[in-house]
Amino acid sequence: MDERQLGALTVSALGLGCMGFSQGYGPADDERSITAIRRAVDLGVTLLDTAMSYGQGHNETLVGRAVQGRRDRVVLATKFGIVRGPDGVRVDGRPERVRGYCEASLRRLGVDTIDLYYLHRVDPEVPVADTVGAMGELVTEGKVRHLGLSEARPGQIASAAAVHPIAAVQFEWSLAWREPEDDVVPAARRAGAGLVPYSPLGRGLLTGTRPAPTEGDFRSGDGRFHADNLTGNLALVDAVAKIAARRELTAGQLALAWLLAQGPDVVPIPGTRDPARIDQNAAAAGVRLTPEDLAALAEAAPREAWRGDRRSFAAHGVTRTR
């Protein structure tokens, strides 16, 4: 698989989002999940994305098991800052807690160094520069190689980059969620950071498979999957599927190829539990879209729809917690 740069960090053009192996999409089977992760690595996917909050540590432990004997073939990215516990979910970016969170992640992953360490959410009670300053100490100590931010605003990205180089900024971005193009994308690029889109397949919608959220699936509470909202959103899905069929691609492959075409600094991290879908997604890294393809997709999912009243995919009660 082709490689790309996230700041000074070299990774595969596509990564693997691992959250769904532990939470968000209903019950999962650990052995099948490990098979999927290892299949991705065998296909050349090097960037594996997890977080301490996913399954309250379960996900990091799972990823650690999957990469045993393969550590030199992967780039491990994890996050801190979202804390899940008996009392619910909170954000914690206090500098004095950063080292403890990192060391706990290292233990769960079973490694000595985290390649890319993200602040999962900026703590509204703590200046982002203070949190990133503490993260930078981990780089000096060799516990972490590179730093990232997840779901940060443009001003926060600039403040963080003034303290320490930021290799990557992670945020939701897809043909069905183009809002970041107006502010987050240019801010990340000004800071010299690579772009890591999560939910690049619209949380399953853009695959064209008509996902039906079940119990334990966080999409059950996501307005974009219900009633009239879903009907309207599926018009976009149908348009993407028709364009994909002309190229003999799946809708998901086309959606990933579109993101990859947005710049050499874009590294989407699709997630799936299905080893067969792992193969499909990996193949998208080799797709080159023509100007005609891009024009057709621009008509199907115009950027202008994300301005004004935004009567499109994102306007329908979307749940952003991740």
For the annotated catalytic residues, the residue numbers are 54
Contact yes or no for 156/162 (Cβ under 8 A): no
In sequence order, what are the beta bridge partners of 144? 114
Contact yes or no for 109/70 (Cβ under 8 A): no
The kind and range of the H/E element at 168 are strand 168-172
Q: In the numeric block, which tokens belong to residue 291?
A: 């100007």
* Residue 132 DSSP one-character state: H
Whole-number Å distance between alpha carbons of 76 and 68: 12
In sequence order, what are the beta bridge partners of 199? none
Contact yes or no for 113/145 (Cβ under 8 A): yes
* Residue 261 DSSP one-character state: T
The kind and range of the H/E element at 84 are strand 82-85
Measured CA angle at 317 (ends 316, 318), to 5 deg: 95
Q: CB 113: neighbour CB atoms within 10 A? A: 16
Q: In the numeric block, which tokens belong to residue 307?
A: 């301005």
Contact yes or no for 192/165 (Cβ under 8 A): yes
